[in-house]
Amino acid sequence: MELAYIPSPSRGVLYLGPVPLRGYAFCIIIGVFVAVWLGNKRWVARGGRAGTVADIAVWAVPFGLVGGRLYHVITDYELYFSEGRDWVDAFKVWEGGLGIWGAIALGAVGAWIGCRRRGIPLPAYADAVAPGIALAQAIGRWGNWFNQELYGKPTDLPWAVEITSSTDGRLPGTYHPTFLYESLWCIGVALLVIWADRRFKLGHGRAFALYVAAYCAGRFWIEYMRVDEAHHILGLRLNNWTALFVFVLAVIYIVLSARKRPGREEIVEPGASDGDWDEGAAAVEDAEPDLEPESKSKSESEGPSAKADAEEKKDAGASGGGGVKKEPESAEKS
């Protein structure tokens, strides 16, 4: 009886007409768009302007890609700088190899620059985009499926992934689809952050810290299942230690931040509400000139009768004007 399994794609390149697009890069691009879309909706719901998330992402995304690649190259330097390797391959991001830790760290630097340019607090921005980042990771992990990389131990489970080619010398077979495990975990993290944010009104960076802590918890056990080459410290893979360390930092931040600044920011983007008022005021001002012709025509139609009334009052005043003028004279004589 043939076992069920998840087949790997026959090729890792998609063609948009004559343009080749690697599946890995395609997944990252889709993930970025989803993150910006969801982040924008959450940012506007918190009182910010539409489009701000995309403007800051122009800084955060390139920084994140550079940071992710740097982390990967530094922690797996032997893939690029050992004997028989070509160091130029370190620049071929489209072939795979991004470390989430470096992407988040340097991406935060890019976001900080973008936030400073807009006068926005970075923690508020991070809270808005946190679930979107988790979903971007969920989509991006399917790039590992296209590349047939970062899988787990051999297994005959029905959801095992079939590996037909390998760059690490392993035999073709069925393995734990750790990319799928992490993808599903990241979707769960996104839903958790959205729910907790609505339930507890998380602010001042706590929604982002919750995302970081929840992701690290999943990454720890998923990393433990992987069989690709990695540096080990005290029996654990380097990424296990990184996940554990970052998890502790995120939990500490949540606790201390909740004590120091409970609740959520009242204003996430200075001037956003004023901008909305200005737009409304402009609409009113645009409508006011339309009333002028009506008022003018009304005054013109009432003009003759009003003029006649004024002449009658003038005549009445003239007929009784003598007595009125004599009173001051008699008063002066007396």
Alpha helices (runs of H) in the chain, residue ranges in sequence order: 23-45, 52-75, 78-81, 100-118, 122-140, 142-147, 178-200, 206-225, 238-260, 272-287, 292-319, 321-333
Distance CA 111, CA 316 (A): 80
CB burial string 92-124: b at 16+ within 10 A, e below:
ebbebbbbbbbbbbbbbbbbbebbeeeebbbbb
Bridge partners, 175 (sequence order): 154, 161
CB burial string 240-260: b at 16+ within 10 A, e below:
bbbbeebbeebbebbeebbee
Query: Taking Cα atoms as reference points, which of 74, 75, 195, 91 lies closest to residue 134?
Result: 195
Residue 270: strand, helix, or coil: coil
CB burial string 68-81: b at 16+ within 10 A, e below:
bbbbbbebbeeebe
Q: Within a 10 A sphere around the Cβ of 195, how many other Cβ atoms?
A: 11
Residue position matching structure tokens 């302007």: 49
CB 179 within 8 A of CB 147: no
Residue 42: strand, helix, or coil: helix
Residue position matching structure tokens 């489970």: 157
| 116 known member of a binding site | no
* Whole-angstrom Cα Rg for the chain: 35
Residues of the binding site = 141
